[in-house]
Amino acid sequence: MSSFWSGWIILLTVANIIGAVWLLWMTSRLSPEEKASETTGHVWDGDLKEYNNPLPRWWLWLFYLTVVFSIIYLVLFPGLGNFQGVLGWSQTGQYQEEVARIEARQDEFFARFAEMDIAELARDPDAMSAAANIFGNRCAQCHGSDGRGAPGFPNLTDQAWLWGGDETAVLASIQSGRVGVMPPMADSLGGEQGVAQMVEYVRSLSGLDHDADMAAAAAPLWPVCGACHGMDGTGMTALGSPNLTDANWLYGSGRATIAETITGGRQNNMPAQLPVLGELQSRVLAAYVLRLSGQLGD
């Protein structure tokens, strides 16, 4: 804050305190003329008069105490522009203290899991209870509270892994994040007709009902898509390309949805969690995710 605005705030604050004290003092006393008059002269509805009485003393001193309290507060804590108060308290400092305290408690709790591998963590009830809380705070917004995902967000309870489902791959996904890009392919397929034909071909790969003639017409163009999804359509974990031969669909298997994907492309981003969770908590979370999929656990 600039010195001008700091001074302006100090001036207004002090002026308001002085004004409040003056107002209390003025209303606590009556002049001889006012004492001679029982009312202020204001009348409503013909006979409703306003009496001119000073504040009760206990009430007046209560107001004075609030003024004294405000002065003490402004001396001790921030409130007068750039003046930080003699205690040096700040919201930022208080927040940092609270964060440090919570992190110390977390480190103490998670230290017991430091020597466990991911498979052991998946069998430990305390580790999985803590991981469930982490998942609820960091992952459920996209993958759902039960881990079953949503359109565009992978289901973590099955065996369909875009980037691989072993311990190393899952941990890498959590710690470093992933960025998946499906480029628009309409022009490469010859336009709207080519997209419609490829929709039928893709549906045929997973055994869905399809137009066999249109799928056959798209077969010569499949290498354009097979460069990422594999010539057999089973995907490539190195690229995060989905397997198109199973029943798992990231965005849905309807014709309109597949056509939208081919025409406009898709882009997904899994944010890196290592900067937030650290090494140990991310390992505990990886164990939880692998347990959700049924690969680890009891």
**Tens digit of pLDDT at every position of the chain (298 positions):** 788 898 899 999 999 999 999 988 887 776 555 555 577 778 888 888 887 777 788 888 999 999 999 999 999 999 888 888 999 898 999 999 999 999 899 899 999 999 999 999 999 999 999 999 999 999 999 999 999 999 999 999 998 999 999 999 999 999 999 999 999 999 999 999 999 999 999 999 999 999 999 999 999 999 999 999 999 999 999 999 999 999 899 999 999 999 999 999 999 999 999 999 999 999 999 999 999 999 876 6
- β-strands 39-44, 48-51: how paired? antiparallel
CA 261/CA 255 separation, integer angstroms = 10
pLDDT at residue 45, as a whole number: 86
Vertex 230, ends 228 and 232: CA angle to 5°? 150
Judgement on whether residues 66 and 213 belong to the same structural domain of the protein? no
CA 143/CA 130 separation, integer angstroms = 18
Q: 4-17 burial string, b = 16+ CB within 10 Å, else e?
A: eeeeebbeeeeeee
pLDDT at residue 24, as a whole number: 86
Let me know: does 229 contact 183? Beta carbons within 8 Å: no
Judgement on whether residues 217 and 256 belong to the same structural domain of the protein? yes
Name the residue range of residue 62's domain.
3-76
Number of folded domains that form the chain: 3
The pTM of the full predicted model, rounded to 2 decimals, is 0.72
Judgement on whether residues 138 and 195 belong to the same structural domain of the protein? no
91 domain residue, yes or no: no
pLDDT at residue 298, as a whole number: 67
Judgement on whether residues 162 and 38 belong to the same structural domain of the protein? no
pLDDT at residue 122, as a whole number: 95
pLDDT at residue 15, as a whole number: 94
135 domain residue, yes or no: yes
pLDDT at residue 50, as a whole number: 80
Cα 102 to Cα 17, 109, 110: the distances in Å are 39, 11, 12
Judgement on whether residues 124 and 169 belong to the same structural domain of the protein? yes
